[in-house]
């Protein structure tokens, strides 16, 4: 028997596997495919104060070992998420969920986090200061230590649940931003969001994505994510949720060796709808193959 | 939706750029004409969504056009090769609204889903007519297959090399007493049809997709009834709800 249980800020997960925000909706599409209660948790679709349609289409582009998306935080807004999506989600998922929140001002982040903090099913609030697909917001808060800290402080002041700040890799020094969030009271750090990327269609000679650029994700960014998780986990004392290109149980273990306490799976869900189920089922066997009896023993193991 | 492994039985050119592929495997997830499948291809990250032309208990037939590297690779695959495919995607056409004499209009690679739709309408005792539009005679395909169903088949080509010279809309304008319409094709054609048709109808849209099953919001569009995902709430939308 192996132990796959991990603990994030007092919240114990059956396993470290968490579908990443934006790749799992509010859960029920996947609940039609398998019992999503096997998941450690899941991070629901990035939610903002107002409803958002998002960016014009095309929003998706193929890349080598990955994809670009420019969805732009399409969501029904915090009111409908609380009144409609969460009751639906509650029927198919019985564990604490990670509430992913985005905003266009510090006040908006605080408003949404204060609202979602009161929802019983929310276990962790994941504050997205790293969406590359919206202007004047999202990522702009995640590219400066001061702005990220300001959002963290504002959210912490109005919430009781653990607050994890989700960081952007599109920065020169992610460690300084992670430390600023920790100093401002963050209970944990999630990283990485997507890398800024672009594709151009040779036939039309125009960008494939209507918004020109978007967030690059998928297997191709895994080594970058592992490197950044390693750097951040080394620099902060709070737990780190690692993500970026994870698509196998081996990737989960590698991410944990880099310093992640839990691991999110993103783009893989979109091309392999059973990705998380397969990873969870493979995990004990892969742990045994590498002589791992307890996942907690390997967190940050590569640093030792 | 179902994920399953399929074996290629036939993969042959119908025209220079359009191929017919017959896949053997589980077809139980397909519930309506106009649905699509999403094919995983070695060496490509995103799956490739292709509309279903026809199916029975054991096989799925698709007709696809080589438009990029993914479909180019698909065109090289031999019989016997297996593919990982998601089936039963999208809403498909609702035949209940057709009336007795529905008009089916396919343009280019929008032609394939009209085939199964015509068969289903015939099975319901209705009298469909079909209009097929192509750029040239060389690019035309499946005309004989539609004729074999025993229904009226009208062809339009942009250069006049086959059938009526012009667009499918030119043929539609000459049609009388149709009770409803169903269409699939390039968006300018859909828009033009929405303008010239005198009845209600259903139009199937195309968009670049991430997942194909409603998870990523990559293919969203705004309709009069709110935001819809082309892959999950579509690809078929009703004429009255579309915001052009």
Cα within 13 Å of Cα(A69), Cβ side:
28
pLDDT at A133: 67
Average per-residue pLDDT for chain A: 95
Q: How far apart are CA A227 and CA A239, in angstroms?
A: 16
Instruction: Quote the strand ranges of chain A, DSSP E.
Output: 6-8, 11-13, 17-19, 60-63, 66-69, 97-101, 122-128, 163-166, 188-191, 195-197, 200-201, 206-207, 214-217, 240-243, 262-265
Residues of A in contact with B1 (CB under 8 A): 32-33, 273
Question: How many CB atoms neighbour CB B119 within 10 A?
Answer: 15
pLDDT tens digits for range A78-91: 999 999 999 999 99
Asked if the bond preceding A58 is cis, omega within 30° of 0, the reply is: yes
Residue A63 is a catalytic residue = no
Mean pLDDT of B135-153: 97
Instruction: Name the pairing type of β-strands A214-217 and A195-197.
Output: antiparallel
Residue A296 counted as domain residue: yes
- The C-alpha R_g of chain B, in whole angstroms, comes to 17
pLDDT digits (tens, 9 = 90+) for A112-165: 999 999 999 999 999 999 876 666 555 678 889 999 999 999 999 999 999 999
Residues A100 and A154: their CA atoms lie apart, in Å, by 16
Instruction: Note down the domain range covering A296.
Output: 6-45+77-196+216-303
**pLDDT attached to residue A140:** 76
Q: Does B209 sit within 8 Å of A271, measured CB to CB?
A: no
What does CATH list as the number for B95-204? 3.40.50.80
Task: Specify if A118 maps to a domain.
Answer: yes
CB B113 within 8 A of CB B52: yes
Question: Using CB atoms, which residue from B46, B213, B215 is nearest to A67?
Answer: B46
Domain count, chain A: 1
Domain boundaries, chain B: 2-89, 95-204
CATH number of B2-89: 2.40.30.10
For residue A206, the cross-strand partners are A201
The predicted pLDDT at position A292 comes to 98
Range of weakest confidence among A69-78, A129-138, A213-222, B14-23? A129-138
Chain A residues close to B221, C-beta within 8 Å: 57
Contacts of residue A135, Cβ cutoff 8 Å, sequence gap at least 6: none
Q: What is the domain-level CATH number for residue A184?
A: 3.20.20.70
Of the candidates A63, A112, A113, A131, the residue annotated as catalytic is A131
Q: Is residue A63 part of a domain?
A: no
- Residue A242: phi and psi, rounded to 5, are -95, 140
**Chain A hits for B209, Cβ within 8 Å:** 60
Compute the mean pLDDT over every residue in chain B, rounded to the nearest whole number: 97
Give the whole-angstrom CA distance, residue B203 versus residue B196. Answer: 13
CB contact under 8 A, B216 and A71: yes
**Chain B closest-CA separation from residue A22 CA (Å):** 6
- pLDDT tens digits for B55-78? 999 999 999 999 999 999 999 999
Confirm whether A14 is domain-assigned: yes
Neighbour-count burial of B244, counting CB atoms closer than 10 A to its CB (0-12 exposed, 13-18 middle, 19+ buried): exposed
- Is the CB of A277 inside 8 Å of chain B's CB atoms? no
pLDDT of the residue at A139: 64
Q: What is the pLDDT of residues B165-174, one digit of tens each?
A: 999 999 999 9
**What tokens does A260 get?**
């992640």
Q: Do B44 and A62 touch (CB under 8 A)?
A: yes
| Option in B45, B70, B218 nearest A66 (CB) | B45
């Amino acid at each position: 028997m192996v132990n796959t249980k991990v603990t994030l800020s007092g919240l114990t997960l059956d396993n470290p596997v968490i579908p990443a925000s934006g790749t799992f909706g509010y859960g029920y599409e996947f609940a039609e495919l398998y019992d999503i209660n096997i998941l450690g948790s899941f991070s629901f679709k990035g939610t903002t104060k107002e409803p958002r349609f998002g960016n014009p289409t095309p929003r998706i582009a193929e890349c080598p070992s990955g994809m670009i998306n420019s969805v732009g935080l399409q969501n029904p807004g915090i009111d409908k998420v609380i009144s409609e999506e969460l009751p639906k989600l509650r029927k198919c998922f019985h564990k604490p969920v990670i509430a992913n929140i985005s905003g266009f001002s510090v006040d908006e982040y605080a408003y949404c986090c204060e609202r979602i903090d009161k929802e019983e099913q929310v276990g962790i609030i994941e504050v997205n200061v790293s969406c590359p697909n919206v202007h004047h917001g999202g990522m702009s808060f995640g590219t400066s230590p001061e702005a990220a800290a300001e959002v963290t402080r504002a959210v912490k002041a109005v919430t009781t649940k653990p607050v994890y700040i989700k960081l952007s890799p599109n920065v020169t020094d992610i460690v300084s931003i992670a430390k600023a969030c920790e100093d401002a009271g963050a209970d944990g750090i999630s990283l990485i969001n997507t890398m800024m990327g672009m594709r151009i269609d040779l036939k039309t000679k125009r960008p494939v994505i209507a918004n020109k650029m978007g967030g690059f994700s998928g297997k191709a960014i895994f080594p970058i994510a592992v490197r950044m998780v390693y750097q951040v986990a080394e620099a902060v004392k709070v737990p780190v949720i690692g993500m970026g290109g994870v698509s196998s149980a081996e990737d989960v273990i590698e991410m944990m060796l880099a310093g992640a306490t839990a691991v999110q799976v993103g783009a893989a869900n979109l091309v392999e709808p059973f990705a998380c189920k397969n990873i969870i089922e493979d995990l004990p066997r892969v742990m045994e193959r590498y002589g791992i009896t307890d996942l907690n023993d390997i967190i940050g193991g590569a640093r030792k | 939706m179902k994920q399953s492994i399929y074996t290629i039985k036939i993969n042959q050119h119908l025209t220079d750029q359009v191929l017919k592929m017959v896949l053997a495997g589980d077809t139980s997830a397909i519930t309506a004409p106009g649905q699509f499948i999403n094919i995983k291809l070695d060496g490509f990250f995103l799956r490739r969504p292709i509309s279903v032309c026809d199916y029975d208990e054991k096989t799925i037939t698709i007709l696809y056009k080589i438009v990029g590297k993914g479909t180019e690779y698909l065109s090289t695959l031999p019989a016997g090769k297996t593919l990982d495919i998601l089936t039963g995607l999208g809403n498909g056409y609702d035949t209940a609204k057709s009336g007795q004499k529905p008009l089916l209009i396919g343009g280019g690679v929008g032609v394939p889903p009209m085939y199964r739709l015509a068969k289903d309408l015939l099975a319901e005792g209705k009298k469909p007519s079909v209009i097929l539009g192509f750029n040239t005679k060389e690019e035309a395909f499946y005309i004989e297959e539609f004729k074999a169903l025993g229904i009226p088949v009208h062809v339009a080509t942009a250069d006049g090399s086959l059938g009526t010279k012009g667009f499918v809309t030119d043929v539609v304008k000459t049609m009388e007493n149709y009770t409803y319409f169903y269409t699939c094709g390039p968006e300018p054609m859909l828009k033009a049809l929405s303008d010239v048709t005198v009845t209600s109808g259903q139009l199937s849209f195309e968009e670049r997709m991430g997942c194909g099953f409603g998870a990523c919001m990559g293919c969203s569009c705004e309709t009069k009834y709110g935001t819809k995902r082309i892959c999950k709430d579509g690809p078929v939308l009703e004429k009255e709800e579309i915001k052009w």
